[in-house]
Structure 1
Amino acid sequence: MKQYQIQPGKDAIKQIELDAVALAEDEIKIQLKAASINYRDIITRQVTKQEVVPFSDGAGEVVEIGSKVTDFKVGDKVIGLFFPQWMDGPLTADLFKNSRGAGKCDGMLSQQISGKASSFIRFPEHLTYEQAATLPCAGVTAWHALFETPQPAKKGQTVLIQGTGGVSVFAIQLANAFGLKSIVISSSDEKLAKAKKLGATHTINYKTTEHWDKAALDLTQGEGVDIVVEVGGAGTLEKSLNALKVNGVVSLIGILTGVEGKINPFPILTKSLRVFGIYVASKAMQTRFHQALADHNIKPIIDKTFEFEQADEAYQYQKSAKHFGKIVVKG
């Protein structure tokens, strides 16, 4: 089989060939059909100190099962969990150490992937392999940000969504399906038009409207939004806090604007705001997310698909930030 490995210190990947490995009694083997890339994969490629198979996200067909596996059969369509060991409950330091595509835990950019059966899950039947490959990180992260915090979104509330990348487009779709009003910000009028077609209630171009936090307040009659899906990080967090209503929530997901910045804690204090760090999800959350996709017939938005041999081109396209939705590599 062929697989990719990140080359430490070179910001590069290489393709290698390996012999198939024997399964343990509690493992399954899948044939990769599609994998998807996330911003996290770019960072991992730049900073990893050891060889590791990249891409946390992938979908495939079960081609072999261990002798004690009862939850799957050959032919099942599955995805790999981002955190192979996080089944339910809160994220712990030990669970955090083991995530696909980083550290010592190989990712999904391999023609065959083997692992404990518990670290895989079937995906909704109405989805293709390419669509399903987008679910383990970006998809369920959006679900977590909206509906799995201690203060989950409720019908009629307003959510501010930053950008139109993978997580953000999922958030637009979920907000629309669950009766939330949404305000989407982007620097591209073309992307904002696409967001509107997906169901965004309002859109703001943050290049032409520098004070988008004030614009969001105006759109909510000065009250503020209930939730912000925060993917920018240090460079956008202060305005996100300004845009929130009293008792509002920031679901803090990304660091696209970097990690250094000065944050004024005054709005958090005076408006009793909640800031929840969102780092993907457990298998239990993934299960609930899949049910929501099936119930509402939601299909992930794929911007562009690359062949397996074009994996490096997928990285470059992700870095360009030209995409609307997800980028997929075929198996």
Structure 2
Amino acid sequence: MKAWLLKDFGLENLQLDDVPTPVPSAGELLVKVGAVSLNYRDKAIVDGLYEPAMIPKPLIPVSDAAGTVVATGTGVSRFKVGDRVNSTLYSRWIDGAPGPNEPDYCFGAPLPGGLAEYMIIHEESAVRAPDSMSDVEASTLPIAALTAWFSLMEFGKLQPDQTVLLQGTGGVSIFAAQIAAALGARVIATSSRDENLAKIKLLGAHEGINYRQRPDWDKAVLELTDGKGVDLLLDVAGGNGLNQSVAATKAGGLIAQIGFLSGLQATLDVIPLLFRQTTIRGIAVGHRASFERMNVFLNQHGITPVIDQVYSFGEACQAYAHLARGPFGKVVIKVAE
């Protein structure tokens, strides 16, 4: 089969090659990949910024895939040939609290990912792809949508009368705006681009803050919330901006720490954290059971993914370059024609 292989760090070392088509073992599915979507994690892996010691080389990258089961190993009972499935990031996290070594079993690093014509997914890891979505649409769900859902619903327990702040207009934040708005919550979004704030308002956000124009965006949030702050904040930036996230969250509020776009380290001001009694939880996507609950919600509310651009299988490097520029929504690579 054809597969993209990361032979060393750097996008110039991501190369299309021929590799043996995998054969499913007991309990495994052979999936003909229809499409994959890119996340910041995928870029960080290629750039050598994401736990480089755990990245095997060569590696078939990209965790998020949707496709069709074309063969099964012995003992498979959850799926059959012809079923459409999604991968999950954590191949062994099915439900409940995460185990101590979940990152050791992630698709797209260290396990082979979906940027290939075929991939192996254990039947316990796979999730049935929504019938209402194409492979291109369904490929956007495993990280971006599930991270938004897990942050809002599993951790945040968001209620219709509450307010949530979303940073930026990437895949996670856009899904979060759609989900929170469908729930009936108030959504405040931040972005450096007015045009993106206008777009995310069309998807359900109620107010927008341009953080280039308002570097003190935390104060702008307080102005919009009568000085109280938001109930829940999804922080995709990381870095020292976490202090502003604390300031923008109400006393006793919640912060879902999702990303690290602004830095892998933060110098946290402890006194404001203590005085506001803020809860900060690291969110590393979510488990299979949550994915399945999310799909029911998405179907009930008619939520469809926002896709910035779809690239062909041969244009994987161009897709990564697009991701680096900062898309509005998801960047997808269509593998099967």
Q: Distance in 2 between matches of 1:224 and 1:20?
A: 53
Aligned CA distance change for structure 1 residues 192 and 17 (closer, same or farther; 3 Å): same
- The aligned counterpart of 2:16 is 15
Q: What SS does the corresponding residue of 2:319 show, helix, strand or coil?
A: helix
Q: What SS does the corresponding residue of 1:148 show, helix, strand or coil?
A: helix
- The aligned counterpart of 1:4 is 4
Q: What SS does the corresponding residue of 1:93 show, helix, strand or coil?
A: coil
- The aligned counterpart of 1:306 is 311
Indicate conservation of the 8 Å contact 2:165/2:230, yes or no: yes
Aligned counterparts, 1:122-141, within 5 A? 122-141=128-147
Shift of 1:294: 1.1
Shift of 1:10: 3.9
- The aligned counterpart of 1:31 is 32
- 1:96 lines up with 2:103 in the alignment: yes
- The aligned counterpart of 2:286 is 281
Shift of 1:121: 1.0
Shift of 1:23: 2.1
Q: What SS does the corresponding residue of 1:35 show, helix, strand or coil?
A: strand
Indicate conservation of the 8 Å contact 2:23/2:30, yes or no: no
Letter in 1 for 2:244: K
Q: Percent identity?
A: 37
Letter in 2 for 1:4: W
Structure 2: unaligned runs, 5 residues or longer? none
- 1:216 lines up with 2:228 in the alignment: no
Q: Distance in 1 between matches of 2:5 and 2:85?
A: 22
Q: Distance in 2 between matches of 1:191 and 1:26?
A: 44
- The aligned counterpart of 2:174 is 169
Q: What SS does the corresponding residue of 2:169 show, helix, strand or coil?
A: coil
Q: Distance in 2 between matches of 1:2 and 1:295?
A: 37
- The aligned counterpart of 1:315 is 320
Q: Distance in 1 between matches of 2:303 and 2:115?
A: 25
**RMSD after superposition:** 1.2
Q: Alignment partner for residue 119 of structure 1, among 125, 137, 140?
A: 125
Q: Distance in 2 between matches of 1:209 and 1:285?
A: 36
- The aligned counterpart of 1:251 is 256
Q: What SS does the corresponding residue of 2:198 show, helix, strand or coil?
A: helix
Aligned counterparts, 1:171-190, within 5 A? 171-190=176-195
Q: What SS does the corresponding residue of 1:241 show, helix, strand or coil?
A: helix
Shift of 1:115: 2.9
Q: Distance in 1 between matches of 2:85 and 2:135?
A: 9
Which has the higher mean CA deviation after the structures are superposed, 266-275 or 90-99?
A: 90-99
Q: Deviations over 1:279-327 (max 9, x none)?
A: 0111111111111111111101001100000001111110111x11100
Letter in 2 for 1:113: M
Indicate conservation of the 8 Å contact 2:35/2:66, yes or no: yes
Shift of 1:245: 0.6
Indicate conservation of the 8 Å contact 1:234/1:263, yes or no: no
Q: Deviations over 1:22-57 (max 9, x none)?
A: 321311111111000000111111224522111110
Q: Distance in 1 between matches of 2:273 and 2:195?
A: 34
Q: Distance in 2 between matches of 1:271 and 1:193?
A: 31
- 1:237 lines up with 2:206 in the alignment: no
Indicate conservation of the 8 Å contact 2:242/2:266, yes or no: no
Letter in 2 for 1:34: A
Indicate conservation of the 8 Å contact 1:82/1:100, yes or no: yes
Shift of 1:72: 0.9
The count of aligned residue pairs is 328
TM-score for the superposition, normalised by structure 1 = 0.96
Q: What SS does the corresponding residue of 1:185 show, helix, strand or coil?
A: strand
Q: Distance in 2 between matches of 1:302 and 1:26?
A: 33
- 1:75 lines up with 2:82 in the alignment: yes
Shift of 1:262: 1.9
Q: What SS does the corresponding residue of 2:105 show, helix, strand or coil?
A: coil
Q: Distance in 1 between matches of 2:10 and 2:221?
A: 42
Indicate conservation of the 8 Å contact 2:165/2:189, yes or no: yes
Structure 1: unaligned runs, 5 residues or longer? none
Shift of 1:260: 3.0
Q: Deviations over 1:192-219 (max 9, x none)?
A: 1101111101001111112111111010
Q: What SS does the corresponding residue of 1:118 show, helix, strand or coil?
A: coil
Shift of 1:261: 3.5
